[in-house]
Structure 1
Amino acid sequence: MALHAKPLQLNTADAGFEAAFAARLHWSADTDAAIEQRVADILADVQKRGDAAVLEYTQRFDGLQAPDVKALEITQAELKAALDSLPAAQREALQAAAARVRKYHEAQKKASGESWSYRDEDGTLLGQKVTPLDRVGIYVPGGKAAYPSSVLMNAIPAHVAGVQDIIMVVPTPVRGSVATGGSGEAAVSSRGERNELVLAAAYVAGVTRAFTVGGAQAVGALAYGTATIPKVDKITGPGNAYVASAKKRVFGTVGIDMIAGPSEILVLADGSTPAEWVAMDLFSQAEHDELAQSILLCPDAAYIAEVQAAIDRLLPTMPRRKIIAKSLNDRGALILTRSMEEACAISNRIAPEHLEVSSSEPHRWEPLLRHAGAIFLGAFTSESLGDYCAGPNHVLPTSGTARFSSPLGVYDFQKRSSLIEVSEAGAQPLGRIAAELAYGEGLQAHARAAELRLNPVPPMREPT
């Protein structure tokens, strides 16, 4: 039986558009109750038993047999050996991508990640001190797929920010073992499936230490610390449902980047881009998994028909065509709009993770676009370039959260402290303002602390 991909076709002029549009966008971030309970149990066990629990779950879920957690650490020599072992073309591509990502984040740090201060006319100094986090953990998915690009996008901005310790955890399940964080017993081996490109990326990106641990137990180890795996200040990086649930539960003990939903792409097209290009761009997200969402907004009905025809021609050539077809059939949409202006307005309602402006005049429409994780301007700017090597971070807000959140960046690995140095002259007007407001709140000690510094003041004592 032939495989077909028929994204839902909608027309904004139709009476039933709003209801159909809302139904197509719907996605719930709620996690299965059984997963939530299992994750809660794993985290509690890791917090209580530390290394012993991590070792037990790593053997049970990933099939790795090790005498202790220390044996699960990947040394810097192994990371470098992985880089050296890559074919020359692959090694050069990895290093070129890393250089571009680093250059972008260095510019980002200069623009938004530096300390600053100024002085009032009376000599009072006000400012902001920006300092890096001490230690962060990055989770890198393993098992079904390997993501060296995820290593670069998480570790490089942390390194640029000045983080001294970057701890990577990556599951390396034995072939045929159960999924990391799942239930049941796995086949046991002393070494799992390591991806050399992931290890090489860790070396290039400046990862300090790496462990072949995954799932909720890895998140717990990073959040609480064990005898071997150090406690971190923040955990970043994507993972499966167990990892997402664990990150939610440890938030507050540590910081996290975000809880990511399925991958998304929204293409705004004016009909000037070859239809095959747009069809493949829709495929590029649909091939991630069945829940990924690919949407086209276009005011040209004939062009939408061309894109559907391109989907029909290209789908049989795709190795992951079954995943692509299910994603497009269940969550994809080709939407006919009244105009490009309306397409931009709908895009802002969706607030997509990836937004391609596939137009001959992308800069005409860009000012109308307010909410998106990343905006790709022009026909030659495929989203896949952003995934790997353009430079900006590919860790982006999903599920409409681009309305209030931003891509992962240097700023996620920094914290800001306010600087306040009030001069004697400045303490006079500020003290009166503060005292008045403090008395109004009924906080007399606050008021008196400010008033004690009003003129005349006692002479300052010499420090001992």
Structure 2
Amino acid sequence: MLSRIDLRDRDLTARELLEVVPRADLDVSHAVEVVTPIIADVRERGADALREYAARFDGVELDQIRVPADRIEAALESQDPAVLDAIREAITRVRAFHEATVPPPVEIEVAPGARLAQRWVPVGRVGLYVPGGLAVYPSSVVMNVVAAQAAGVESIAVATPPQRECGGEPHPTILAACALLGVDEVYAAGGAQAIAMLAYGAEDLCDPVDIITGPGNVYVAAAKRAVNGVVGIDAEAGPTEIAIIADDTADPEFVAADLLSQAEHDPLAGSVLITHDEHLAERVEEALGRRADDTKHLARTKEALTGVQSAVILTSSIDQSIQVADAYGAEHLEIHTRDADEVASRIRSAGAVFIGPYSPVPLGDYMAGSNHVLPTGGTARFASGLNTTSFLKAIQYIRYDQAALAEIGHKVIALANAEDLPAHGQAVQARLEG
């Protein structure tokens, strides 16, 4: 089912590794051309445009784009108590972790009378996008909202597609998650039109935000690219992916189950096994084929597993497996090896690392406490997953007294003159003369 990439006895450069690892074929640039007129239309016509796109793309006639607060609260009554209990537990764990990761302020004296400080200040307002395509994602509500709340953001708007089977409202499980988190500003808007509404606002409906976060399809990613700079964005999320580093100690049933768990997300989802044990690879492939035949979402799962983005990568050693994993830069990376903690400590590129046989990716998707909004498409080589700093700005503060400035003033003047910016130096000289 999975294709094979055999890297044994091949000494590849970092550039060659980037070219050989499997990737989904995703053309965000083309999607930008599609969404640009939609964004312009929403910016120009606001709510009227949103209603027209809801009818065209979602098949619903919207009476109200903003969901009334009482409908958000009422969604709690329709939910399975076990689901509400699970959401509450996820909120508790995600909040505990994110509050603990808020960076502290820093203040130092670099010389007598020369003080510097840095404070982390939350943005005023954020827009959180929650997808609603092939599945329902209350977990994405938790991940985005809790991270923003832990950072201290005071104004939070959630946009999520209207559902025809729900009378044009968002899915009630999404609304219930918002209710549990105390979010009462929810819009039945999806796709590029929702991103445009959040970025530019819509008169008498929605105020513009400072940052937009949250996953979505290629058109949501394209819309976020288009408005980046007008507002901040977290990332251009692509199809989900998992890579697993495994050796002869790995349980092939665990590995197969985890590869399958990501493949059911999307036909473009990537499932990659990296191992220097060919016998393990064969056992995983057998288990994967058997499990895939019994899975609910068989069509999209098989399409994902047989796509160019999924593969078994055979390596010559655990060291080469680590090199391949770093080149791949997986959104989710599982470690199923002996000395898993040591292997994990050597990883430089991954959105999140799941260590050992009892830390599967679905744990992080829902309940671990970590955030599941993670970099995709290899961007983990330079980007981080959603966290509290996604909603914080670092502001630096500088305070020198007269003596501290006098001590280094001549050096500032020397550098200013070297850069042919004499007025810079004169601003300091005026103080030295004074």
TM-score, normalised to structure 1's length?
A: 0.88
Query: Which structure has the larger Rg over C-alpha atoms?
Result: 1
Alpha-carbon distance, 1:208 to partner: 4.3
Which stretch shows the higher mean deviation, 260-269 or 200-209? 200-209
User: Equivalents in 1 of 2:54, 2:121: separation in Å?
Assistant: 35
Q: What letter corresponds to residue 81 of structure 1 in structure 2?
A: A
Secondary structure in structure 1 of the residue aligned to 2:272: strand
Q: 2:356 aligns with which of 373, 378, 382?
A: 378
Alpha-carbon distance, 1:75 to partner: 3.0
User: Equivalents in 2 of 1:63, 1:263: separation in Å?
Assistant: 27
Which stretch shows the higher mean deviation, 444-453 or 84-93? 84-93
Alpha-carbon distance, 1:403 to partner: 0.8
- 1:123 equivalent to 2:113? Answer yes
Alignment deviations for residues 370-418 of structure 1 (CA, whole Å, 9 cap, x no partner): 1111000001110110111101111111111111110110000010111
- 1:439 equivalent to 2:417? Answer yes
Alpha-carbon distance, 1:338 to partner: 1.6
Could you say if the C-alpha distance between residues 23 and 371 of structure 1 is closer, same or farther in structure 2, counting changes exceeding 3 Å?
Answer: closer
Partner of 2:245: 268
User: Equivalents in 2 of 1:201, 1:260: separation in Å?
Assistant: 22
Partner of 2:342: 364
Alpha-carbon distance, 1:100 to partner: 0.4
Indicate conservation of the 8 Å contact 2:61/2:168, yes or no: no
Q: What letter corresponds to residue 88 of structure 2 in structure 1?
A: Q
Indicate conservation of the 8 Å contact 1:279/1:308, yes or no: yes
Q: What letter corresponds to residue 86 of structure 1 in structure 2?
A: Q
Q: 1:289 aligns with which of 263, 266, 274?
A: 266
Alpha-carbon distance, 1:219 to partner: 0.8
| Percent identity (aligned) | 38
Q: 1:146 aligns with which of 136, 160, 173?
A: 136
Partner of 1:462: none
Q: 2:195 aligns with which of 213, 219, 224?
A: 219
- 1:7 equivalent to 2:2? Answer yes
Which stretch shows the higher mean deviation, 299-308 or 402-411? 299-308
User: Equivalents in 2 of 1:98, 1:421: separation in Å?
Assistant: 40
Could you say if the C-alpha distance between residues 326 and 351 of structure 1 is closer, same or farther in structure 2, counting changes exceeding 3 Å?
Answer: same
Which stretch shows the higher mean deviation, 229-238 or 292-301? 292-301
Partner of 1:184: none
Partner of 2:396: 418
Count of aligned pairs: 430
Indicate conservation of the 8 Å contact 2:18/2:327, yes or no: no
| Equivalent residues in 2 for 1:344-359, closer than 5 Å | 344-359=322-337
Could you say if the C-alpha distance between residues 23 and 361 of structure 1 is closer, same or farther in structure 2, counting changes exceeding 3 Å?
Answer: closer
Alignment deviations for residues 242-270 of structure 1 (CA, whole Å, 9 cap, x no partner): 21111111100000110112111111112
- 1:95 equivalent to 2:88? Answer yes
- 1:259 equivalent to 2:256? Answer no
Q: What letter corresponds to residue 53 of structure 2 in structure 1?
A: Y
User: Equivalents in 2 of 1:344, 1:66: separation in Å?
Assistant: 51
- 1:173 equivalent to 2:163? Answer yes
User: Equivalents in 1 of 2:135, 2:23: separation in Å?
Assistant: 26
Secondary structure in structure 1 of the residue aligned to 2:299: helix
User: Equivalents in 2 of 1:64, 1:132: separation in Å?
Assistant: 36
Q: What letter corresponds to residue 74 of structure 1 in structure 2?
A: V
Q: Aligned-residue CA RMSD in angstroms?
A: 2.1
Alpha-carbon distance, 1:206 to partner: 3.7
Alpha-carbon distance, 1:203 to partner: 2.1
User: Equivalents in 2 of 1:78, 1:40: separation in Å?
Assistant: 32
Alignment deviations for residues 78-127 of structure 1 (CA, whole Å, 9 cap, x no partner): 22222243222111111001110000101111xx2x32212244222201
User: Equivalents in 1 of 2:58, 2:291: separation in Å?
Assistant: 36
Alpha-carbon distance, 1:25 to partner: 1.4
- 1:205 equivalent to 2:198? Answer no
Partner of 1:407: 385
Indicate conservation of the 8 Å contact 1:143/1:173, yes or no: no
Secondary structure in structure 1 of the residue aligned to 2:358: coil
User: Equivalents in 2 of 1:452, 1:222: separation in Å?
Assistant: 47
Secondary structure in structure 2 of the residue aligned to 1:284: helix
Q: What letter corresponds to residue 374 of structure 1 in structure 2?
A: A
Q: What letter corresponds to residue 25 of structure 1 in structure 2?
A: P
Indicate conservation of the 8 Å contact 1:139/1:235, yes or no: yes
Partner of 1:182: none
User: Equivalents in 2 of 1:291, 1:28: separation in Å?
Assistant: 8
Alignment deviations for residues 14-45 of structure 1 (CA, whole Å, 9 cap, x no partner): 66999899456144442373x43331111111
Which stretch shows the higher mean deviation, 210-219 or 329-338? 329-338
User: Equivalents in 2 of 1:425, 1:385: separation in Å?
Assistant: 57
User: Equivalents in 1 of 2:420, 2:11: separation in Å?
Assistant: 57
Q: What letter corresponds to residue 172 of structure 1 in structure 2?
A: P
Could you say if the C-alpha distance between residues 11 and 66 of structure 1 is closer, same or farther in structure 2, counting changes exceeding 3 Å?
Answer: closer
Indicate conservation of the 8 Å contact 1:10/1:17, yes or no: no
- 1:250 equivalent to 2:227? Answer yes
Alpha-carbon distance, 1:46 to partner: 1.5
What residue ranges of structure 2 are gaps of 5+ in the alignment?
none
Q: What letter corresponds to residue 151 of structure 1 in structure 2?
A: V
Partner of 1:333: 311
Could you say if the C-alpha distance between residues 21 and 415 of structure 1 is closer, same or farther in structure 2, counting changes exceeding 3 Å?
Answer: closer
Partner of 1:108: 101
User: Equivalents in 2 of 1:293, 1:315: separation in Å?
Assistant: 15
